[in-house]
Structure 1
Amino acid sequence: MTADQIESIIREGLPCEHIEVTGDGRHWAAVVVSPAFEGMRSIARHQKVYATLGQRIHNDEVHALSMKTFTPAEWAARG
């Protein structure tokens, strides 16, 4: 699995205004900005992203994924 593949899978399952995926082929980090996160707590946002990856998480295709998730307003406030 590549960063581009993970990014594409997340984009297919979640409307994203911005997404960055980096990693070493086994351990990944993602920054995901989505209006779908509005009104959600951090854990619910992460679960939403994990849901887009589905069985890839359970089958160990994506071994570890750390995330920073933001609404568009939160992302804009960060500058």
Structure 2
Amino acid sequence: MADPTPAEVQRYIADGLSCTELQVDGDGRHFFATIVSAEFEGLNRVRRHQRVYQALGERMREQIHALSMKTLTPAEWAQQGSAEHHHS
């Protein structure tokens, strides 16, 4: 089975999870995703990751260990965005 591209991983996540912001980078072996979803409200980090794995389903079962992610709610994302502007 061919390694998925970042675009495919992004599509898989978007299919199973409604995201307000979604960025996936990677080289086919390792992926890094930034995922912002209102569905993460009230969930801890582990539960958020489980939610993403659920969205990915069987398609990524083999590659899932190579996915690192940052999971944020829209509020956390907005906060982080404004924090980054202050430090630059």
Give the TM-score normalised by structure 1.
Answer: 0.92
Consecutive aligned runs of 4 or more in structure 1 exceeding 4 Å deviation: none
Show the counterpart of 1:20: 23
Show the counterpart of 1:70: 72
> More relative contact order in 1 or in 2 (CA 8 Å, sep 6+)?
1
Deviation at 1:63, TM superposition (A): 4.8
Q: Give aligned pairs, total.
A: 78
Aligned mate of 1:3, from 6, 13, 29 = 6
Deviation at 1:56, TM superposition (A): 2.3
Aligned in 2, Cα 1:41/1:62: closer, same or farther, shift over 3 Å? closer
Equivalent residues of 1:32, 1:69 under 8 A apart:
yes
What 5-or-longer segments of structure 1 have no aligned partner? none
For residues 8 and 66 of structure 1, the distance between their equivalents in structure 2, rounded to whole angstroms, comes to 16
Helix, strand or coil for the counterpart of 2:59? helix
Aligned mate of 1:52, from 44, 55, 59 = 55
What 5-or-longer segments of structure 2 have no aligned partner? 82-88
Helix, strand or coil for the counterpart of 2:28? coil
Letter of the structure 2 residue corresponding to residue 13 of structure 1: G
Give the TM-score normalised by structure 2.
Answer: 0.83
The superposition leaves residues 33-68 of structure 1 with CA deviations (integer Å, 9 ceiling, x where unpaired) of 00000000000000000111111232x244510010
Aligned in 2, Cα 1:50/1:75: closer, same or farther, shift over 3 Å? same
Q: How big is the alpha-carbon RMSD for the aligned residues of Structure 1 and Structure 2?
A: 1.2
Letter of the structure 1 residue corresponding to residue 73 of structure 2: T
